[in-house]
Amino acid sequence: MAAIKQLAAVARSGTGKGAARSVRREGRVPAVIYGGGVKPEPISVDFRDVNKLIFAGHFLTSIFELEIDGRKERVLPRDYQLDVVTDWPVHVDFLRLSPGSSVRIGIPVHVANREASPGLKKGGAVNLVLHTVEVMAPADDIPESITIDLAGMDFHDSVHVSALKLPEGCRPLAGTADLTVVTIVPPTVMVEETPAAGAAAAAPAAGVAAAPAAGAAPAAGAGKGAAAAPAAAKPAAAKPAAKK
């Protein structure tokens, strides 16, 4: 089960933009708790606490126990808004976790036994296609992570959602069974042409001259020093016939 974190909160009476701005001026972040068949409850949390929790990671997959005016409420963060300029949190939505209910949540995926993977030993790499897997989990027993064993996995071997060993009470979402979670990919090999082979292919064989095209003019200086071809002799004039 995922560890439950503590977070102090204060109930607030006002709602709307004006009341929210007033809360922020006090160094707090407006929030709301909804779900569980109960009317949404507006609250506020300390700015420094929630800012640290959001940027520490895994905020939306962590269970919190809010202490509100002496009572405790178990919740799961569902969404938060950040200021477009400062990236500071300006609002948080919490889902009330009722005992016995189920929630849809993304569980982080971890891999183990890298050293026992033949594909990785041969220089391959782990391609984690899904960093989280969406499941339906019990609200009071949400798993912290899902671990995939890489032992025996070679090139192009993969693990799909249907093959995952999910914690008891968890089930994958409908239509996700065929999704690939992790696969082992072979190393990328780049074939580079050697300079010698490239030069040999580019240059023609030594001493072989290309034949001139038919009708092409001779190159300048060609036949220098050689006798010019004699002009064709004109036909001899015919002698007049002798008079009898």
Helix (H, G, I), strand (E, B) or coil at 167: coil
pLDDT of res. 68: 94
Which two structure tokens, joined as six digits, stand for 198?
A: 């490239």
Q: What pLDDT is attached to residue 228? A: 45
**CATH 2.170.120.20 spans which residues of the chain?**
103-185
All residue ranges of the chain with pLDDT < 70 are 1-2, 190-244
Residues of the chain with CATH 2.40.240.10: 4-98
Model pLDDT, residue 196: 59
Task: Give me the pLDDT at residue 229, please.
Answer: 45
**Torsion angle in degrees (nearest 10) through CA of 159, 79, 101, 40:** -170
Say whether pTM exceeds 0.95.
no
First to last CA, the chain: 142
Tokens, residue 4: 């439950």
From the candidate CATH numbers 3.40.50.2000, 2.170.120.20, 1.10.150.20, 3.40.50.300, the one assigned to the domain spanning 103-185 = 2.170.120.20
Query: Strand pairing of 158-160 and 180-185?
Result: antiparallel
Q: What pLDDT does residue 240 have?
A: 53
Domain 4-98, architecture per CATH: Beta Barrel (2.40)
For residue 200, the model assigns a pLDDT of 57
* Beta carbons within 8 Å of 92's beta carbon, 6+ residues apart: 29, 30, 31, 32, 45, 50, 77, 79, 80, 81
Q: How far is CA 45 from the centre of its chain?
A: 33
